[in-house]
Chain A
Amino acid sequence: MTLNEWIFVGLFLMAGWMLPVVPLLLGYWLAPRRPNPVKKQIYECGVQTVGSAWVQFRAQYYVFALVFVAFDVELVFLFPWALAYNKLGLFALFEMAVFILLLVVALVYTWRKGALEWS
């Protein structure tokens, strides 16, 4: 009955999004709509906006994203290990310890390189 488990999720995906949409529709019918150029201005504490908001921004965020990707891939490997841990021998622990140690080395390297500093 593995598929049956997922029917509920599938139905939820198909029907569940309607619930947040219902209040939006209610608001659409009930609320007034009288837009004018001043109202539609982009809010910037009353100052006229200069240029587009869609600009290139500091690369610092990108570095954190890269570190995250490395760790997230590691986490994917940890899940099956944790799941089968009770059935595995002591060797599994050492294997995973080596794996995690390798990642710690990477973390220490990024740390020493100063990639985790916010300058």
Chain B
Amino acid sequence: MTDTLVDIGLSHDLAVLIAKLVGVFVVATCGLLWTLFGIWLERKVSGRLQDRLGPNRVGPFGLFQTLADTIKILLKEDLVPDGADRWLFNLAPVLSTFSVLLLWVVIPFSAGWIGTDLSIGVLYLLAAGSLGMVATLMAGWGSNNKYALLGAFRAVAQLISYEVPMVLAMLVPVLMTGSMSLQAIVEGQYIAYGLAIPLTVFIFLASSLAEIGRAPFDLLEAESELVAGFHIEYSGMKFGLFYVAEFLHAFTVGVLATVLFLGGWRIPFVSAQDTPALLGFGSLLIKSLLVYLVIMWVRTTLPRVRIDQILEFNWKFLVPLSLANLLVVALLWKIVPDTDQIASVNDALLPTLVLLTANILLIVVTSLILRERGRRERAHIAALYGPVDGAADAAPAGVGD
């Protein structure tokens, strides 16, 4: 595209600028249009998972349901509550959607299909992703509503806590590749990292689910406690933007998991150079949808946890586990020879097997510790309140701490 513009007589710099500007609008518009399809998909799949039909009225299979909803939501009256901070209240939905769109700048969709391949891509993802947190806070504070404020408080506690294990998980592929550029991480995965480090994938997915505030970690908008949480006072298109942001963020997590751990746009057994751009994009899309399916599955099956449980799960389980995980991977990466010059599937085979074994060992050890803790906890409860149902294997009362 740059060449064509130069041909018609523009200077090189101007041509680059225009080409990039077009790229900006293509990425941002595609992102927003994708939600039209994606929200339908999410509703249909979670409907089927819960033995319902899902949307099936508007268009074939209810495909135009989201479009109809968009039109409806556009025509809804937009209310600003009394005493709200107008600036924060109106800026929050825009920032919320924008922060997710910002993530798409560095995501490699295929060989060469990338907004810009920043050399500090992973760091950029974290920085841009945190903006969404600010938007949640702005909405909660600006609404002048107690439910919204409670939601925002919870959001702060939860989102900042879960950022720690998420970053620790994202460090592992950076360490293995020796680069923070997402394109380099994808090209470095001769064997998908997910096969070598399943535990890291688990930590990343679990903490990301909390980061995007999705069930079972959707405490910031818990319907049964806070009615709707931080976006309770929003109506019309402003609410719509929050909805779009939430969906898009969840899907983006699927894409990120694919890029970091599942080989991104690479097709198994095909070298990066031989992958046609379009097929690569298809490969990325299929993998991301699979991860997204898992996210939806978790959402529809698991009940919501309490605020104390959610923070304990993070600080007492995920953070120590991800620290141990990082150290184990780092240690093995030094012990296994030639990990710094992997250039083919054969080179990657040995480190993958070693890491996989270590991961399985780590998982076993973790489960043993958890089982011991669970036993003690049950014994403790039994000592306080008498025997609990289903605690037949618990130690006799009074033995636990």
* CB under 8 Å from chain B, chain A span 85-99: 85-87, 90, 93, 96-97
Partner of A68, one of B28, B160, B326, B339: B160
A98 and B178 CA atoms in complex are apart in Å by: 21
Residues from chain B with Cβ under 8 Å of A65 in the complex: 156-157, 160
Interface size band for B: 35 or more
Partner of A6, one of B97, B116, B164, B319: B116
* CB under 8 Å from chain B, chain A span 19-73: 19-21, 23-24, 26-28, 30-35, 37, 39-45, 49, 52-55, 57, 60-61, 64-65, 67-68, 71-72
Q: Are A54 and B141 in contact (CB under 8 A)?
A: yes
Residues from chain A with Cβ under 8 Å of B147 in the complex: 43-44
A110 and B381 CA atoms in complex are apart in Å by: 24
Q: Are B237 and A23 in contact (CB under 8 A)?
A: yes
Residue B350 interfacial (CB < 8 Å): no
Nearest B residue to A85, CB-CB: B175
The smallest C-beta distance from B221 to any residue of chain A, in angstroms, reads 14
Q: Are B323 and A104 in contact (CB under 8 A)?
A: yes
A97 and B82 CA atoms in complex are apart in Å by: 54
Q: Are B174 and A93 in contact (CB under 8 A)?
A: no
The smallest C-beta distance from B395 to any residue of chain A, in angstroms, reads 23
Residues from chain B with Cβ under 8 Å of A68 in the complex: 160-161, 163-164
Partner of B75, one of A6, A31, A67, A96: A31
Q: Are B233 and A100 in contact (CB under 8 A)?
A: no
Q: Are A5 and B116 in contact (CB under 8 A)?
A: yes
Q: Are A52 and B83 in contact (CB under 8 A)?
A: yes
Residues from chain B with Cβ under 8 Å of A26 in the complex: 74, 237
Residues from chain A with Cβ under 8 Å of B115 in the complex: 8, 12
The smallest C-beta distance from B6 to any residue of chain A, in angstroms, reads 15
Q: Are B116 and A8 in contact (CB under 8 A)?
A: yes
Q: Are B82 and A41 in contact (CB under 8 A)?
A: yes
Q: Are B146 and A53 in contact (CB under 8 A)?
A: yes
The smallest C-beta distance from A31 to any residue of chain B, in angstroms, reads 5
Residue B334 interfacial (CB < 8 Å): yes
Residue B167 interfacial (CB < 8 Å): yes
Residues from chain A with Cβ under 8 Å of B20 in the complex: 7-8, 11
Q: Are A9 and B116 in contact (CB under 8 A)?
A: yes
Residue B340 interfacial (CB < 8 Å): yes
Q: Are B77 and A15 in contact (CB under 8 A)?
A: no
Residue B315 interfacial (CB < 8 Å): yes
Nearest B residue to A88, CB-CB: B334
Q: Besides the contacts A67-B315, A71-B164, what 4 more A-B pairs have beta carbons closer than 8 Å? A: A11-B24, A27-B237, A75-B171, A82-B175
Can you name 20 A-B pairs with beta carbons within 8 Å?
A: A2-B119, A6-B116, A6-B118, A8-B20, A11-B20, A19-B28, A19-B97, A19-B98, A24-B94, A31-B78, A53-B149, A55-B149, A65-B156, A71-B164, A72-B163, A83-B178, A85-B330, A103-B323, A116-B311, A117-B308
